[in-house]
Amino acid sequence: MEKIIINGGTPLRGEVEISGAKNAALAIIPAAILSQDVCVIENLPLSISDVCIMMKILNQLGARVKIINKHTIEIDARSVNSYVISNDMTKHLRASYYFIGALLGRYGRAKVALPGGCYLGPRPIDQHIKGFEALGATVTIEENAIVNAKAENLTGSPVYLDMVSVGATVNVLLAAVKATGLTVIENAAKEPHIVDLANFLNSMGADVRGAGTDVIKVRGVENLHGCTYSIIPDQIEAGTFMVAAAATKGNVLIKNVIPKHLESISTKLVECGAEVEEFDDAVRVSLGERAGKCNIKTMPHPGFPTDMQPQMAVLLALADGTSIISESIWSNRFRYVEQLNRMGASIKVDGQLAVVQGVEQLMGAPVKADDLRAGAAMIIAGLAASGTTEIEDIHHIDRGYEDVVAKFSSLGATIKRELRPDPNELNGAS
């Protein structure tokens, strides 16, 4: 069993380069099959496991994928010859369901097994289905949890999303770009990765307007062509390093970011007493003394991102005073609290609220990564704590953080990956 081992207590110092955005990449990779041409995608976080699986799915569909360098791939979608994706591929990640929208857009057919992904509470896809049906598709869920979507002709239509959903916005966009006529997505998600996907689609010749607002208009075009496109920096990876800098009372320059995407995070860090300096494509975060308390409520963009909630909880766990965290997107995003409390934090959860009573010091402990962002929180906690922290289940972290150990090491952290025997194996159990 591979673990991340951290000897904490050293303030992070130096510079770190942020990778391309995972959640943009996961939407852009399937979008590439909408063209019958070649797309070159740059600034791709190629070594995270979610991206690797999306590339395997491309292969399964018949696309040719060529790795040009550590962050660039070429996708030749001319050879795509299937609209079927099996459960052994889709079970690993949520975003595999973006292939439903993309395959519908390309073929008017998709047979894709229901997706897996981090367990953050129930993750229904009713809004995706509602959008596909509005465009004229029939969608059924068949044996073995296969989503079977068919459309003779996809036709543009108004689509009102009952709740702001990143995934449904992406999927409807993908299905609509080659539909006949105008699709208007109302109550659309406004996350930076939605804008990035729209920019990518437009680079391929699509006509998508209004991305980044809550009304997106898509005028269908007949054909899309290839393009070269560079993915935006990862807002959440950047935010994770920002919080880590503050939680260790360090001073870090975080490079290759879009400071505008980080405003909700910067604002809360400043409220906690950190200094945040913004440059054109970098931010510097420093904190010289103990953080102060602050309250957080997660909201769709431009609100405070739910994907930063566990990391921010670590800073608040060390803050002077009591803070309240209110989670309004996911019903089960406080599982990491049990792990943090093992390290000496004092956090009580009541439904969608967590009351965080700051303590002066966290102590290293064996903990696990319950999901991707919970894992990021464990790393920050381990870096800030005294003593040694061993994190299990780090495959969750590998889903979304590129070179995480190397990046933190370059900031002065004592952190390594290590293969340790699994106690169950030692006992002869499996």
Rule CB under 6 A: which residues touch ligand EPU? 23, 26, 94-95, 118, 122-128, 163, 165-168, 189, 306-307, 329-330, 372-373, 400
Q: Half-sphere exposure of residue 92, counting CA atoms within 13 Å on the CB side?
A: 20
Min dist CB 163 to ligand EPU, Å, is 5
Residue type, position 420, single letter: R
| CB neighbour list of residue 106: distance below 8 Å, 6 or more residues apart | 33, 34, 80, 83, 178
Catalytic residue among 118, 227, 272, 294: 118
Q: Which lies closer to ligand EPU via its Cβ, residue 176 or residue 253?
A: 176
Q: Half-sphere exposure of residue 253, counting CA atoms within 13 Å on the CB side?
A: 8
Q: What's the alpha-carbon Rg for the chain, to the nearest Å?
A: 22
Q: Which lies closer to ligand EPU via its Cβ, residue 127 or residue 248?
A: 127
Could you confirm whether 39 is annotated as catalytic?
no
Q: Which lies closer to ligand EPU via its Cβ, residue 104 or residue 253?
A: 104
Structure tokens, 406: 């190397």
Residue 196 to residues 81, 145, 203, 204, 366, Cα–Cα distance (Å): 27, 30, 10, 13, 38
Q: Which lies closer to ligand EPU via its Cβ, residue 274 or residue 394?
A: 394
How many residues are listed for the chain in this entry?
430
Min dist CB 124 to ligand EPU, Å, is 4
Min dist CB 392 to ligand EPU, Å, is 18
- Give dist(CA 7, CA 405) in Å, integer: 12
Q: Which lies closer to ligand EPU via its Cβ, residue 58 or residue 274?
A: 58
Q: Of all residues in this chain, which one has the CB nearest to ligand EPU in the complex? A: 167
- Give dist(CA 41, CA 32) in Å, integer: 9
Min dist CB 168 to ligand EPU, Å, is 5
Q: Which lies closer to ligand EPU via its Cβ, residue 94 or residue 249?
A: 94
Q: Is 108 left (phi over 0), alpha (psi -120 to 50) or beta?
A: left
- Give dist(CA 177, CA 208) in Å, integer: 8
Q: Which lies closer to ligand EPU via its Cβ, residue 245 or residue 376?
A: 376
CA angle in degrees (0–180, nearest 5) for 376-389-342:
85
Strand order in the sheet with 84-85: 84-85, 109-113, 146-150, 138-142
SS3 at position 23: helix
Q: Which lies closer to ligand EPU via its Cβ, residue 106 or residue 128?
A: 128
Rounded (10°) angle between helices 166-176 and 192-203: 10
Min dist CB 398 to ligand EPU, Å, is 13
Min dist CB 424 to ligand EPU, Å, is 27
What DSSP letter does each residue of 273-305 carry, written as one string?
T-EEEE-SSEEEEE--SPPBP--EEB-STTSB-
| CB neighbour list of residue 207: distance below 8 Å, 6 or more residues apart | 177, 218, 219, 220, 221
Pairing assessment for the beta strands 353-357 and 388-392 based on DSSP bridges: unpaired
Min dist CB 54 to ligand EPU, Å, is 10
CB atoms within 10 A of CB 426: 8
Residue type, position 76, single letter: D
Min dist CB 89 to ligand EPU, Å, is 15
Catalytic residue ranges: 118
